[in-house]
């Protein structure tokens, strides 16, 4: 569906676009050119170049075992300003590696990330968990990434989250069960009722929504809901560029012995040395935190396998 001015048109893809199928030709947030083809009907003629995009490797059509299928890109949302990485303090347990993967996707696609730990109410009586949450949140804040501890159920941190959205277009991504729908409803009570029927035009072009929806917030801005994302593979991130998405590595990387060091098992790697000598703890002090380095190594290995 495409919103054109105040009207919503049921649209189909023009033939040339249909030929380029694969699921990512037109996605939520895209700006498109349409021509009217009938009452409340139109055809999408062209899609504008995307300002930003959140993309991942598409799951192979034949399931996880289908190793022969060519890699395809799955774009989850276009022209979105913010990525809200939503994980739960517990139930389900969160993994920093997952957060770091989404931060790479955000940097690659031009989105500003915010990390959100929901369900902090479940951590209240667990001192160890609370300490870990604070420490992990501090790690990202040290990297300049806003990190919020919230509870959709109790309302903690919802105002701060609304402020972080700041009237822009944001996409929620995280494993199912983390509380994305609950957070969307905490931000905008009654939002669910409008899910799936509204798309919007905020700029000159036209916006279109397909399976994911663009949900308007009274406080300004929009939320884009995505289906739960558990494993997050990359479509077009190369091993060479991966470290550029870990900006705290840069000041050390200049001292690696090899100019093309990938900070894996190479000898005299200054990034690895920075991890070993400590001084991480958030990255603000100029060190490299072991948690981030381990994420990096795991992603690097997964890129090498692909
Ligand atoms: P989604 O799959 O990410 O959209 O997650 P949902 O919003 O459907 O939430 C999954 C489950 O977690 C539901 O049973 C919610 O009631 C519960 N839940 C959501 N937010 C909170 C919270 O802040 N605290 C607690 N204790 N449970 C929550
Ligand atoms: Zn190195």
* Closest among 13, 83, 74 to 43, alpha carbons compared: 13
Domains 71-225 and 239-305 share a fold: no
CA-closest candidate to residue 70, choices 295, 294, 235:
235
Model pLDDT, residue 193: 36
Atom of ligand 1 nearest to the CA of 91: 12
| pTM for the predicted model, two decimal places | 0.88
Tens-place pLDDT, residues 224-283: 866 667 778 898 899 999 999 999 999 999 999 999 999 999 999 999 999 998 765 544
Give the start-to-end residue ranges of the domains of the chain.
2-49, 71-225, 239-305
What pairing do the DSSP bridges indicate for beta strands 41-47 and 7-13? parallel
Query: From ligand 1's centre to the CA of 236, what distance in Å?
Result: 32
The CA distance from 221 to 219, in Å, is: 7
Q: Where are the alpha helices (DSSP H) in 143-248?
A: 158-165, 180-187, 191-194, 239-242
Instruction: Pick 62 or 117 by higher pLDDT.
Output: 117
DSSP SS3 for 171? strand
Give me the mean pLDDT over the 145-159 stretch.
Answer: 97
> Which CATH number describes the domain made up of 239-305?
1.10.40.50
User: Which of 195, 193, 189, 190 lies closest to 215 in space, CA to CA?
Assistant: 195
Question: Considering every ligand atom, which ligand is closest to the CA of 270?
Answer: 2
**Residues at CB less than 6 angstroms from ligand 1:** 118-119, 121-122, 151-153, 176-182, 228
pLDDT confidence of residue 21? 52
191 or 113, higher pLDDT: 113
Of 15-29, 45-59, 146-160, 206-220, least confident by mean pLDDT is 206-220
What's the whole-number mean pLDDT along residues 171-192? 85
pLDDT band at residue 207 using 50, 70 and 90 as cut-offs? very low
Segment 193-211 shows an average pLDDT of 37
Give the percent of the chain with pLDDT over 70. Answer: 85
Q: Which atom of ligand 1 is nearest to the CA of 185?
A: 7
- In words, the CATH class of domain 71-225 is alpha beta
Give the per-residue pLDDT at 227: 63
């Amino acid at each position: 569906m495409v919103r054109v001015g105040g009207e919503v048109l049921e649209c189909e893809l023009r033939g040339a676009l249909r030929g380029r199928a694969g699921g990512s030709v037109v996605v939520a947030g895209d700006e498109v050119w349409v021509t009217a083809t009938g009452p409340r009907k139109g055809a999408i003629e062209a899609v504008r170049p995307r300002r930003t995009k959140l993309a991942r490797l598409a799951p192979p059509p034949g399931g996880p075992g289908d190793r022969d299928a060519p890699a395809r890109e799955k774009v989850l949302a276009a022209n979105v300003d913010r990525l809200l990485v939503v994980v739960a303090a517990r139930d389900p347990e969160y993994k920093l590696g997952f957060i770091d993967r989404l931060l790479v996707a955000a940097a690659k696609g031009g989105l500003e990330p915010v990390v959100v730990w929901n369900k902090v109410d479940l951590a209240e009586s667990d001192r160890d968990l609370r300490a870990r949450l604070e420490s992990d949140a501090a790690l990202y804040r040290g990297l300049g990434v806003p990190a919020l501890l919230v509870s959709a159920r109790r309302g903690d941190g919802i105002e701060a989250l609304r402020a972080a959205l700041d009237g822009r277009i944001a996409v929620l991504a995280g494993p199912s069960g983390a509380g994305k729908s609950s957070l969307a409803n905490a931000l905008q009570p009654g939002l669910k009722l409008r899910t799936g029927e509204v798309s919007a035009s905020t700029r000159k072009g036209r916006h279109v929504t397909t399976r994911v929806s663009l949900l308007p917030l009274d406080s300004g801005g929009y939320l884009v809901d995505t289906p739960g994302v558990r494993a997050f593979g990359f479509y077009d991130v190369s091993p060479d560029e991966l470290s550029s998405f870990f900006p705290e590595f840069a000041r050390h990387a200049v001292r690696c012995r090899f100019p093309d060091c990938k900070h894996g098992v190479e000898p005299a790697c200054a990034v690895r040395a920075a991890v070993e000598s400590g001084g991480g703890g958030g990255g603000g002090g100029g060190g490299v935190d072991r948690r981030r380095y381990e994420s990096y190594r795991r992603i690097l290995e997964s890129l090498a396998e692909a």
